[in-house]
Structure 1
Amino acid sequence: MKRKYILILFLLVWAAASQAQNERKFVRQGNKFYEAAMKDTSRLDTVQFNKAEIEYLKALEKKPDDTKWNFNLANALYKQKKFDQSAEKFKEIADKTTNKVEKSRALHNMGNSLLMKNKLDESIAAYKDALRNNPNDLETKYNLLYAMNMKKKQQDQKKKDDKNKDKDKDKDKDKDKNKDQDKKDQNKDQKKDQDKQNKDQQNKDQKQQQQQQNKISKQNAEQMLQALENNEKKIQDKVKKVQALKAESKKVEKDW
């Protein structure tokens, strides 16, 4: 009976050891892909990093709480520029581990992932949390200062942009003001032109009217002159008739 129990125990230990060997095999294979991708510094070999990610996931299916393997997976995600996923994975590690050094590393890498997404406030907060767990980490201090400097530059640029916007608004106001003034001046000039046209037209009408009146006056004068000439002729005709009668009368008296 003892031998039977010993055999069963041996089989259980062997099965567990065999399973552990399979998990480590995935990790080792993933490490090979990761190291191969890191050798070529001239380019980012996302294919090899992706293969490493797949192998690490296989291992974590068997042992999901292994901190080291989770780090490997998070790093593979980061190298593929899957920054949102790597930040989430590093945060998960930081939340689960009680080791301050590991927590600081996870938070540091989480800050790097967030920094790559230009989430400056969140990355600064991650770096500060990392330093609370490991105050002497010089690399984290440097990255914190770098992120804070980036934020300051963005704030300065925003102030500059806002100032330029205000200047543009002032320019637009001046332009609108000038446009209004130009419009007023244009309306004023148009009014002057219209008044001049009206005055010229009025002078023209007055001149035409004067010419017409002068023409009528001349016609009247000619008519009056003609009437006077006609009257003068009639008078002369009457005088001639009277003289003729007188002459006739004298002639008759002499005959007697």
Structure 2
Amino acid sequence: MKRIVVGIILFMSSVIYSQNKDKNLFNGTESFTGKKYISAETDFRISQSNNEEKKAVANYNLGNSIYRQNQPGEAKYKFLNAVEVAKTKEEKHKAFHNLGNTLMLEENYSGAVEAYKNALRNNPSDDETRYNYALAKQKLKENPPKDDKEKKKDKDKEKQDKDKKDQDKKEKEDKGKEKDKKDSDKGKEDDKKKEGDDKKGKQDGDKKEDENGNPKPSGANKQQIENLLNAVNNAEKKIQDKVNAKKVKVAPSTNEKDW
């Protein structure tokens, strides 16, 4: 496949003009010729800002400098600016031609076709523009632009893919949160169960033994035990009193007569 005929050519008239009035335009042209494209860009930007009379020349040359730095996307806007302020057919032809080149690199073949067509309207005899125009039409035929339905279909598919990705991410996050909650609830249940077992063990120990280590009757509280012990003690005291009373009655008399 034949390559695009780039056809980037500086305005030769600008060199003569710049020698008299625009030092930056002249210096930029010299730097561009010496392939110092960054320096050329700087001078052309200054010239673009200061020289209204030759603004089309400065924009065109600025676009060329940026293009040579492999930045066709930015250069495109400078060529568009050159087209807007161009005053002669020659200026318009060259600006449209290089605008077409940048659009070809972006694979915007329909835009490139229109740019080359406009370049030919201003200079029908330029063979490079004519060749690029034919090449752009061939590329456009091989790569027809998508209609609105196809564009909408692509956008819908992109949206569906994004929605599915977001949904999968949300489900994954929800599962993680649910697992964390289950683990937390299980931990709380285990703690409660352990606490209940400890409390039950303590209660069982309290039921089985009193403070002196004596077994406690099942279900008896402290007050009941004290009442029971008091009753037993009272009963024993009554029995002891009765025994003592009998001993007094049966004791022999120890009284003796005085002789």
Give the TM-score taking structure 2 as reference length: 0.50
Which of structure 1's runs of 4+ aligned residues deviate more than 6 A? none
Greater helix share, structure number = 1
Percentage of matched positions with identical amino acids: 18
Partner residue of 1:137 out of 126, 132, 135: 132
Aligned pairs (5 A) from 1:152-163: none
Partner of residue 87 from structure 1, selected from 80, 83, 86: 80
User: Residue 173 of structure 1 aligns to a residue in which SS?
Assistant: helix
- 1:234 has 2:241 as partner: yes
Q: 1:128 maps to which residue?
A: 113
| Matched residue, 2:70 | none
How far is 1:236 from its partner?
Answer: 1.7
In structure 1, the residue matched to 2:39 is: 45
What CA distance in whole angstroms lies between the structure 2 residues aligned with 1:210 and 1:54?
A: 103
Instruction: Encode CA deviations 1:147-204: one digit per residue, 9 max, x unaligned.
Output: x8xxxxxxx9xx99x9689546623431232112211331232133224324432443
Read off the aligned partner of 1:196 and give its amino acid letter: K
Higher Cα radius of gyration: 1
Task: Provide Cα deviations, 1:196-232, integer angstroms capped at 9, x if missing partner.
Answer: 3244324434543565637666645543443343223
Report the AA paired with residue 230 of structure 2. Q
Q: 2:109 and 2:230 mapped to 1: Cα distance?
A: 113
- Please name the residue that 1:208 is paired with: 206
Q: 1:231 is aligned with what amino acid?
A: K
Q: Structure 2 CA distance, aligned partners of 1:115 and 1:206? A: 92
Match of 2:60 in 1: 75
Picking from 96, 119, 133, the partner of 1:107 is 96
1:26 is aligned, of 17, 30, 33, to 17
Report the Cα distance in structure 2 between the residues aligned to 1:44 and 1:165, rounded to whole angstroms. 45
Give 2:183's match in structure 1, choosing from 182, 185, 198. Answer: 185
Mapped to 2, the partners of 1:40 and 1:163 lie a distance apart of 51
1:14 paired residue number: none
CA distance, structure 2, for counterparts of residue 232 and residue 50 of structure 1: 129
**In the alignment, what sits opposite 1:223?**
230
User: What secondary structure sits across from 1:41 in the alignment?
Assistant: coil
Q: Distance in 1 between matches of 2:26 and 2:52?
A: 15
TM-score (norm 1): 0.50
Partners of 1:226 and 1:186 lie apart in 2 by 57
1:134-154 CA-partner distances (Å, limit 9, x unpaired): 563289649x79xx8xxxxxx
1:127–1:28: structure 2 CA closer, same or farther, 3 Å change rule? farther
Higher relative contact order (CA 8 A, sep 6+): 2
Distance 1:135 1:205, change over 3 A: farther
1:87, distance to aligned residue in structure 2 (A): 1.6
Work out the CA distance in 2 between the residues paired with 1:216 and 1:203. 22
- Preserved contact between residue 116 and residue 132 of structure 2 (Cα < 8 Å): yes
Q: Is the 8 A contact 2:109 2:136 kept in 1?
A: no
